[in-house]
Amino acid sequence: MERPLTQRFRKDGGPPGISDYEKTGGYESVRLALKRHDPADVQRMVTEAGLRGRGGAGFPTGKKWSFVPMGEDAPRPKYLVVNADEMEPGTFKDRVLLEGDPHQMIEGMLVAGYAIGAEVGYIFLRAEYHEAAKRLERAIHEARAKGYVGRRILGSEFSFDVYLHTSAGRYICGEETALLNALEGKRAIPRAKPPFPQTAGLWGQPTVVQNVETLYNVPHIITHGTDWYRALAKGKDGGTKIYGVSGKVKRPGWWELPMGTTVEELLFDHAGGMREGLRFRGLLPGGASTAFLVEEHLSLPMDFSSIPMSVSRMGTGTMIVLDDRSCPVGLMANLERFFAQESCGWCTPCREGLPWVFRVLEAMEAGRGVPADMEVLSAHPGLLAFGHTFCALAPGAMDPLSSALKYFREDFEQHVSQGRCPWNAKLQMHNVKIGAGTF
Residue 1 has pLDDT above 90, yes or no: no
Residue 213's pLDDT band (cuts 50, 70, 90): very high
pLDDT digits (tens, 9 = 90+) for 67-119: 999 999 999 999 999 999 999 999 999 999 999 999 999 999 999 999 999 99
Q: What's the pLDDT score for residue 439?
A: 27
CB 229 within 8 A of CB 254: no
Residue 434 has pLDDT above 50, yes or no: no
Q: Which 3-state string (H, E, C) describes 23-47?
A: HCCCCHHHHHHHHHCCHHHHHHHHH
Residue 196's pLDDT band (cuts 50, 70, 90): very high
Topology given in CATH for the domain delimited by 328-430 = de novo design (two linked rop proteins) (1.20.1440)
Reference 25, options 102, 103, 86, 137; nearest CA is 103
Beta bridge partners of 280: 323
287-292 mean pLDDT: 94
CA distance 293 to 317: 13
The CB density around residue 139, as the number of other CB atoms within 10 Å, is 26
For residue 322, what is the DSSP state? E
The model's pTM: 0.93
183-200 mean pLDDT: 95
The CB density around residue 14, as the number of other CB atoms within 10 Å, is 11
Reference 17, options 109, 135, 183; nearest CA is 135
How buried is 173 (Cβ within 10 angstroms: 0-12 exposed, 13-18 middle, 19+ buried)? buried
Residue 437 has pLDDT above 80, yes or no: no
Amino acid at 38: D
316-332 mean pLDDT: 95
Distances (CA, A) of 314 to 85, 88, 286, 322: 19, 13, 5, 17
The CB density around residue 152, as the number of other CB atoms within 10 Å, is 10
Residue 432 has pLDDT above 60, yes or no: no
Residue 6 has pLDDT above 60, yes or no: yes
What are the start-end ranges of the H helices in 184-297?
212-224, 226-231, 263-264
Domain map of the chain by residue range? 18-231, 240-323, 328-430
Residue 58's pLDDT band (cuts 50, 70, 90): confident
CA distance 191 to 189: 7
Topology given in CATH for the domain delimited by 240-323 = Ubiquitin-like (UB roll) (3.10.20)
Tell whether the torsion through CA atoms of 114, 101, 53 and 303 is positive or negative. Answer: positive
Beta bridge partners of 331: none
What mean pLDDT, rounded, does the chain reach? 94
419-427 mean pLDDT: 76
CA distance 230 to 20: 27
pLDDT digits (tens, 9 = 90+) for 25-34: 999 999 999 9
Give residues with Cβ within 8 angstroms of 182, minimum separation 6. Answer: 124, 167, 168, 170, 173, 188
Lowest mean pLDDT among 362-366, 394-398, 425-429: 425-429
Domain 18-231 in CATH 3.40.50.80: no
Residue 426 has pLDDT above 70, yes or no: no
Inter-residue long-range contacts of 381-387, CB under 8 Å, 24+ positions, other chains counted = 383/349, 383/353, 384/349, 384/350, 384/353, 384/354
